[in-house]
Amino acid sequence: MQPSSHGIPLFELSTFIFEQSSKNKKNSEDQYKCDLNALDKLYNPNEKLIIEKLYKIPKSSPENEYNRYFNIIPYSETRVKLIKNHLNKLCTDYCNASLISKSLTNSPKTDYIATQAPLRSTISHFYHMCIQQNVNIIIMLTPLAESDRYGNQIIKAEQYWTDVNQQMEIDHTLSIHCIECKHINEYLVIRRLILKNELDNKFHLIIQFHLTNWSDHKSSNFESFEALMTVYRRYRNSFENGDLGIIPPPVQLTNLSSSTISSPVVVHCSAGIGRTGTFCAIDIIIDQLLHQQCQPNSNVNVYQTVSNLRRARLGMVQTLSQYKFIWEFINYSVKSELFGLKNRC
């Protein structure tokens, strides 16, 4: 069996999904396993070519303390470089974050920033990155903590926002203020955050979408992921159209920085690879299908999409269940005609 590097025509997608499910029940190798094995071999973190691409941090450097996981390091070529100067007083240009493009070819445009969840010591770096990259949307795909198999709470992310109507000083240049927290359902929360630059008195609006029920190394479920994608894509389209009227009264901000269509979306889970890669892959493929107007011969290429993501950040889409979820959620979205997709098959 060969990897599905050429993709699957949309009119064959449902049949393909059914066939893979049948093979799985018979414990025979399916296309998902073949694809992921090929990707793991192609992007093996122990291979010399991959090691040479990773950002090198000297053992004595304090930058080591800015990594949540010692084995999750960005590539030198695609890492986000912070702008440090005498005003923000950042001690490094390093943060564990990678620039991601939707394009299957080398594109200078950044559509996503895939990053680890902030540590207490990197919250300042995280927000400086958001301002410098003009980020208006953050997708958070992890609870703050998860229980291990022994019932112990494992921290997965540091809380980097405040309660509603509370303000927190990030450093001497930035402060954060949560102006609204809305529970869409029991597992999806939308927060509106205002970053204030104390040096020039400018404000920066960020909408955070927090999916709280997606466990590490697992796949999501259709219901919760559909809810997330529905509200996220609605807000993203508003930002791309320059609509900042979504700020609720009585908040009146005069020096509010504006979004552009090129503003990247920050996506993070805990390590910034598994759940993060899954989200990015699905969002990219939905956009591709919309661009192709969902014609029956439209190409669904999960393998190439994940490969492109892994070229930008090692380990994107971590597990077999996550890879399988991408295929199945795309099929579900087309059949249900979600997100403007039309089922023409």
The pTM score is: 0.93
Kindly tell me if the per-residue pLDDT of 64 is higher than 70. Answer: yes
How far is residue 272's CA from residue 276's CA, in Å, rounded to a whole number?
5
pLDDT of 30-43, one tens digit each? 899 999 999 999 99
Kindly tell me if the per-residue pLDDT of 85 is higher than 90. Answer: no
Domain boundaries, the chain: 8-145+154-248+256-335
pLDDT at 124: 95
pLDDT of 148-190, one tens digit each? 888 889 999 999 999 999 999 999 899 999 999 999 999 999 9
Look at the block and give the residue holding tokens 């008195």: 201
Average pLDDT, the chain: 90
pLDDT of 178-223, one tens digit each? 999 999 999 999 999 999 988 888 899 999 999 999 988 888 899 9
Query: Per-residue pLDDT averaged across 304-312, rounded?
Result: 97
Query: Per-residue pLDDT averaged across 47-66, rounded?
Result: 94
Look at the block and give the residue holding tokens 């990053």: 115
pLDDT of 118-145, one tens digit each? 999 999 999 999 999 999 999 999 999 9
What tokens were used for 299?
Answer: 């190409």
Amino acid identity, residue 313? R
Kindly tell me if the per-residue pLDDT of 29 is higher than 50. Answer: yes
Kindly tell me if the per-residue pLDDT of 28 is higher than 80. Answer: no
pLDDT at 258: 54
Contact 156, 121 (CB under 8 A): no
What tokens were used for 335?
Answer: 């059949």
pLDDT at 244: 55
pLDDT of 224-259, one tens digit each? 999 999 999 999 988 777 665 554 444 445 555 655
- DSSP one-letter code for 275: H
**Nearest CA-CA partner of 206 in 304, 272, 134:** 134
Largest separation between any pair of C-alpha atoms in the chain: 64
Share of the chain above pLDDT 90, in %: 73
Dihedral sign from CA coordinates of 188, 189, 190, 193: negative
**Nearest CA-CA partner of 255 in 207, 172, 199:** 199
Q: Report the CATH superfamily, name and number, of domain 8-145+154-248+256-335.
A: Protein tyrosine phosphatase superfamily (3.90.190.10)
Q: What is the CA radius of gyration of the chain?
A: 20
